[in-house]
Structure 1
């Protein structure tokens, strides 16, 4: 006789999770109904004051800036709230940057943020959640009063002076129990409907469609491919420049010196020996330059011992004293580690060549979102800019090709700081 196999409890667990999610949505909507009303009132106030006071020596600009910041914060809160509630895996709401310096770049950044589609989708979702929350609040009150009506016959002497209602309809004491049951059923049904409607609307508004996701993936892949090609061109140009300006003249000099030594070896052996010694010294210098050039293309220690050891070796060779702080949980992909290493190496090279820095600091961290974050800061004169074909251009393209982001902050007078973030699995 075979024993009965118990059925898995997964469907029950999933059902309980859905019910808990709907209850959480109702609770959140009740809170959003109150908080959202206040937030949108403040937004309307800032907008009206900003537009009204704009002609008055530009005071309205401050209110418009506050309006834009609060607008973005409201959208960010809505994204975080919905993603925490439903687990859609929504991307973090980005802050837009024009990438241009000066007042014009700053104004362009503000405009790009104002017309940002994801931000306005977050605002639309928050507005809908506020309206649904305002509908939830009276339904919760009706549900509570319906529960009280169930016990009205037991508390008749205490409820004599009360005006018992359900959905704002007066209820006689003899109809209290049926009215309470009806009120509970209708309130729960309406609350469940609002929770379902909220889930459908937020998914439709905040979750990108399949076509939009494919378009974004294609755009990102195209950008990464272009950046990889551009990074390869910049690297090839750098290698050609280093070979042409450094190793090639030195090797030509070695050849000429050996030629002179060959001519003098019979007539003046002492002078020939000095020339051979000079050629030997130049050859060792050329080998050192070739080794450094090869290390700039790819550091073998990076594959053997990881990013921490590679950066330690890089800091030891740096002409600028480097304070190194690396805290990595585990190894990442070769592409990610190479991109971060290249960015730090090029930044330290720029600090030594151009910024007149006396010290530099390198910080590298593993983040919870599965990325490597690095910051390189020097105390130089600042004023660094991303120019086509330059070292910083190579950093930006290589980081973008690895699926990461970079940010340069280098005001005139210093300091210069470069931050990069690369997905660990890139």
Structure 2
């Protein structure tokens, strides 16, 4: 089964304040807006016409061997591409701190889960707002192109009476006296330029309303994200405390009790039967070393010193060396990420991988695991896959629940894919602190 144990992402991810990003001068931004509108008027209109035609064809062929369904699915992907482009365009044009438009996560396995995922994406509000802004920009771009032609015509009209006398042909088949042609041409140029600039300013207003979230929306999104992270941190700490208590109660404590009882028996026999007492003392010594090993492993689970000293690559190499299952380790991360800003991300990724390997050894009957770690977009991405039986589920208080809350507390996301029969894969993405 495919499970997304993370809560639904907020409408807009927390982003740095706009003041931290360099904004272009206003005249340059207006010029770039005009040029982009003109390009959308020439090309964007054709792209939108193609998608509209595909939508009509899909509806017409909806009941013809399912061909229409395929076309409509293509329309959804096309609309998503247009919306993604529009978000990127607005972010670059106005230096707006916009997060990229992302395809919704799948929550169910198989073909039915994929169709449901496409249906959920087709009603995504942010995608449709971006598409609406794109359509309005195409319309404005078409008008801008007409105004450009109007300005060019006005320039030629202003100089039309040179060397002539009488009247010249004006707009809509009218005729004007030659002495009025320069004035009409100048007015036409000014009106056309004013209309183009006005459309550029209107495009900015509409984009801020449709695509760029307001400050209130950004703050609300940050509050939602912070609340989710705090809840994840609290839950992760509670699960970690429960795990430590369970390991101490079920592992180390009985072993130490056994050591105490063994030493008590040895004390009773040390005078009457020295040989048996020696055997008991040896047994207590072996149990003591085992208890020390368990305590060391428990302490390593709480804090991994090698992670702070040598980084995630070395810590994972040591972890793979201690694994009961053969592990193929592929770590390619930017060394500059190892620092104060990325310690929480490294710790979360390490914990997720360590817990996944433990689960694979205990429950999956896997004979091999593969761990891949990469640095992506200022953060860390990891994937753990085993060839076991599959069917893993997130159970409250279980290991996967601990991974989910630990990653969520660090501001990341995780995705579990574990169909019956295997394989099981877990992907985590954790951003580094800025």
Q: Same fold by TM-score, threshold 0.5 exceeded?
A: yes
Q: Is the alpha carbon distance of 1:204 and 1:246 closer, same or farther for their aligned partners in structure 2, counting shifts above 3 Å?
A: same
Q: Is the alpha carbon distance of 1:37 and 1:318 closer, same or farther for their aligned partners in structure 2, counting shifts above 3 Å?
A: same
Moved more, 187-196 or 259-268: 259-268
Aligned to 2:191: 186
Q: Is the alpha carbon distance of 1:152 and 1:226 closer, same or farther for their aligned partners in structure 2, counting shifts above 3 Å?
A: same
The secondary structure found in structure 2 opposite 1:354 is helix
Please list every run of 5 or more consecutive structure 2 residues that lacks an aligned counterpart in the other structure. Answer: 1-21
Question: What is the rounded CA distance, in whole Å, between the counterparts of 1:280 and 1:16 in structure 2?
Answer: 73
Aligned to 1:253: 258
Which of 355, 372, 385 is matched with 2:364 structurally? 355
1:220 partnered with 2:229: no
Q: Deviations over 1:63-98 (max 9, x none)?
A: 222222122111111101111111111111122235
Aligned to 1:207: 212
Contact persistence 1:372–1:422 (CA under 8 A): yes
Question: What is the rounded CA distance, in whole Å, between the counterparts of 1:124 and 1:186 in structure 2?
Answer: 27
Question: What is the rounded CA distance, in whole Å, between the counterparts of 2:124 and 2:23 in structure 1?
Answer: 37
Aligned to 2:432: 424
Contact persistence 2:267–2:277 (CA under 8 A): yes
Contact persistence 1:251–1:283 (CA under 8 A): yes
Q: How does 1:126-165 map to 2 (within 5 A)?
A: 126-149=134-157, 152=160
Question: What is the rounded CA distance, in whole Å, between the counterparts of 2:119 and 2:330 in structure 1?
Answer: 39
The secondary structure found in structure 2 opposite 1:90 is coil
Q: Deviations over 1:138-164 (max 9, x none)?
A: 11222233344566567x79xxxxx97
1:325 partnered with 2:331: yes
Aligned to 1:118: 126
Q: Is the alpha carbon distance of 1:372 and 1:301 closer, same or farther for their aligned partners in structure 2, counting shifts above 3 Å?
A: same
Q: Deviations over 1:288-330 (max 9, x none)?
A: 1111111112212223333233223222222223323232223
Question: What is the rounded CA distance, in whole Å, between the counterparts of 1:112 and 1:388 in structure 2?
Answer: 27
Which of 311, 316, 334 is matched with 2:343 structurally? 334
Measured after TM superposition, the shift of residue 16 of structure 1 is 8.0
Which of 86, 89, 98 is matched with 2:97 structurally? 89
Question: What is the rounded CA distance, in whole Å, between the counterparts of 1:281 and 1:49 in structure 2?
Answer: 77
Aligned residues between the structures: 406
RMSD: 2.9
Contact persistence 1:30–1:133 (CA under 8 A): yes
The secondary structure found in structure 2 opposite 1:357 is coil
Measured after TM superposition, the shift of residue 20 of structure 1 is 1.9
Contact persistence 1:146–1:166 (CA under 8 A): no
Moved more, 44-53 or 415-424: 44-53
| Larger RCO, structures 1/2 (Cα 8 Å, 6+ apart) | 2
Q: Is the alpha carbon distance of 1:269 and 1:15 closer, same or farther for their aligned partners in structure 2, counting shifts above 3 Å?
A: closer
Please list every run of 5 or more consecutive structure 1 residues that lacks an aligned counterpart in the other structure. Answer: 1-13, 158-162
1:60 partnered with 2:65: no
Q: Is the alpha carbon distance of 1:197 and 1:36 closer, same or farther for their aligned partners in structure 2, counting shifts above 3 Å?
A: same
Contact persistence 1:312–1:324 (CA under 8 A): no
Aligned to 1:394: 402
Question: What is the rounded CA distance, in whole Å, between the counterparts of 1:27 and 1:87 in structure 2?
Answer: 16
Aligned to 1:42: 50
Which of 194, 201, 224 is matched with 1:196 structurally? 201
Q: Is the alpha carbon distance of 1:280 and 1:171 closer, same or farther for their aligned partners in structure 2, counting shifts above 3 Å?
A: farther
Question: What is the rounded CA distance, in whole Å, between the counterparts of 1:264 and 1:27 in structure 2?
Answer: 97
Measured after TM superposition, the shift of residue 413 of structure 1 is 4.2
Aligned to 1:278: 283
Question: What is the rounded CA distance, in whole Å, between the counterparts of 1:167 and 1:241 in structure 2?
Answer: 89
Measured after TM superposition, the shift of residue 222 of structure 1 is 1.8
1:235 partnered with 2:248: no
Q: Is the alpha carbon distance of 1:145 and 1:82 closer, same or farther for their aligned partners in structure 2, counting shifts above 3 Å?
A: same
Measured after TM superposition, the shift of residue 177 of structure 1 is 4.2
Measured after TM superposition, the shift of residue 254 of structure 1 is 1.7
Which of 379, 383, 389 is matched with 1:375 structurally? 383
Contact persistence 1:24–1:85 (CA under 8 A): yes
Question: What is the rounded CA distance, in whole Å, between the counterparts of 1:173 and 1:350 in structure 2?
Answer: 90
Contact persistence 1:166–1:183 (CA under 8 A): no
Q: Is the alpha carbon distance of 1:106 and 1:241 closer, same or farther for their aligned partners in structure 2, counting shifts above 3 Å?
A: farther
The secondary structure found in structure 1 opposite 2:213 is coil
Moved more, 268-277 or 330-339: 330-339
Contact persistence 2:23–2:94 (CA under 8 A): no
Question: What is the rounded CA distance, in whole Å, between the counterparts of 1:178 and 1:91 in structure 2?
Answer: 49
